[in-house]
Amino acid sequence: MSGTTKAANYQIGFPQGPLSVNGVMTSEWQRFFLWMFNRTGSSQGIDGAYVAGQSSQNASDIAALTLLAKEALQDAQLALADALAIRAEARKALETAEDLAIMRVTTCNARDGSFLNESMVLPTMI
């Protein structure tokens, strides 16, 4: 977001009289009317070159920010896919541990309370 242009300075003093002694418009008034024409050539107080420069700058800024947003979206989608894969692996590990605990409890010959909690039900992830 660099390369901004500055607005033109159309400030001018108000000249004394519009006509000289011989009836010709003074150079100050000619500059004043030229300033008025330049200032109000389109919308009052708007410099067309400045607006055009800002428009092109804004368009390039929007394009750069759109590209950054697309890259961020792709990164977020990859992170979500990784998280879902990790969750699936954790669920599978929990199911395997639950199966092994059930096999251990059900195939044990002695039910003498030697296990920590023989009636324990392993929680499952939701």
Quick: pLDDT tens for 33-58.
777 777 666 555 566 777 788 888 89
Quick: pLDDT tens for 83-94.
999 999 999 999
- For the chain, give the DSSP string: -----PPP----PPPS-SB-TTSPBPHHHHHHHHHHHHHSSSSTT--HHHHHHHHHHHHHHHHHHHHHHHHHHHHHHHHHHHHHHHHHHHHHHHHHHHHHHHHHHHS-S--SS-SS-TT-------
pTM: 0.41
Nearest C-alpha neighbor of 60 from the set 73, 46, 8, 68: 68
Structure-block tokens of residue 71: 């890259």
pLDDT for 94 equals 93
Nearest C-alpha neighbor of 41 from the set 70, 6, 10, 64: 10
* Domain segments of the chain as ranges: 15-46
- Across 19-28, 80-89, 101-110, which has the greatest mean pLDDT? 80-89
Which position has the token pair 């324990």?
A: 120
Structure-block tokens of residue 94: 């929990």
pLDDT for 44 equals 55
Which position has the token pair 């977020």?
A: 76
